[in-house]
Amino acid sequence: DIVLTQSPDSLAVSLGERATIKCKSSQSVFYTSNSRNYLAWYQQKPGQPPRLLIYWASTRESGVPDRFSGSGSGTDFTLTISSLQPEDVAVYYCQQYYSTLSTFGPGTKLEIK
Amino acid sequence: EVQLVESGGGLVKPGGSLRLSCAASGFTFSSHSMNWVRQAPGKGLEWVSSISSGSGGYIYYAESLKGRFTISRDNAKSSLYLQMNSLRAEDTAVYYCVRGEGDILNWFDSWGQGTLVTVSS
C-alpha cells in the first residue's frame, strides 16, 4: 500500500494568517502518461462528513474558497490556506488515488491561535 | 443536488453480519464509481472498498478486510451495498457512502452522512 504521512499532526494559526499542511507519499503518485498527480485534499469539521477541497493535487473543487490551494508533485504535497478564517477549523486529510487501493493520510487538526 | 443516504448500521455481536445500503439521487448513478470509507470513533479516514461505474466489473478492497466484506451495486435502484461478515470490534466505525469522480482511480467528491456500525457483545 502507498502510505501517506502528514505534518504537523496539529497546528494553531492566528486568524488572517497562513496555514500550511504537508503530505508525503511513500512512493510517487505522479502518472507520466497524463502528467497528473493523483492526490486530493479533504476538510472534515466535527460531526460532519469530509468535504472535497482539492484534486489532481492543485485543482480546487467547485465552491471551495480561493484561499485554499494545493501544490507539489511526486511524493511531496502542500495544502495552503492563505488567510485563516474561523470556519476553517477542521481536520484536513490527504488521499492518494494513484493506486486502486486508495489510502488517506492520518489527518492534521487545524485550530485558531 | 447529489444525495447519498446510508442505512443498515447498528449494534451487532462479534462474528455477526450486517448489510449496509446507500440510496443515491441527484445524479446518473451508473456513470460513477462508488466507494465505502469508514471512520472509527475519534480516528481518521480509512478507505474500505470501491466498485467501478457501469456494471461494476472492477472491485477493490482494503487488504485489512481479508475477504470479509463484499461491495455491490444495483444501478436500476441507484443503490450501493456493503455486505459485512465475521464482524470484529475493530470494524466499529461510521461507514460513509462516497461517490467517485474520475475512472476507478478516483477522488471522492460527494459523501453521505454516514451510518454507525458498532460491534460489541
**Full DSSP string of B38-103:** EE-TTS-EEEEEEE-STTT--EEE-GGGTT-EEEEEEGGGTEEEEEE-S--GGG-EEEEEEEEEES
Q: Which residue from A50, A98, A106 is facing B111, i.e. has the nearest CB?
A: A50
Q: Which residue from A49, A100, A107 is facing B104, i.e. has the nearest CB?
A: A100
- From first to last of the 113 residues of chain A, give the pLDDT tens digit: 999 999 999 999 999 999 999 999 999 999 999 999 999 999 999 999 999 999 999 999 999 999 999 999 999 999 999 999 999 999 999 999 999 999 999 999 999 99
Give yes or no for a contact between A4 and A94, defined as CB atoms under 8 angstroms apart: yes
pLDDT in tens, B40-72: 999 999 999 999 999 999 999 999 997 999 999
Residue of B nearest to A62 (CA): B109
Q: What contacts B110, CB < 8 A, 6 or more positions away?
A: A52, B2, B4, B27, B98, B99
Which residues from chain A sit within 8 angstroms of residue B50, using beta carbons?
100, 102
Q: What contacts A69, CB < 8 A, 6 or more positions away?
A: A54, A58, A60, A79, A80, A82
Give yes or no for a contact between A106 and A25, defined as CB atoms under 8 angstroms apart: no
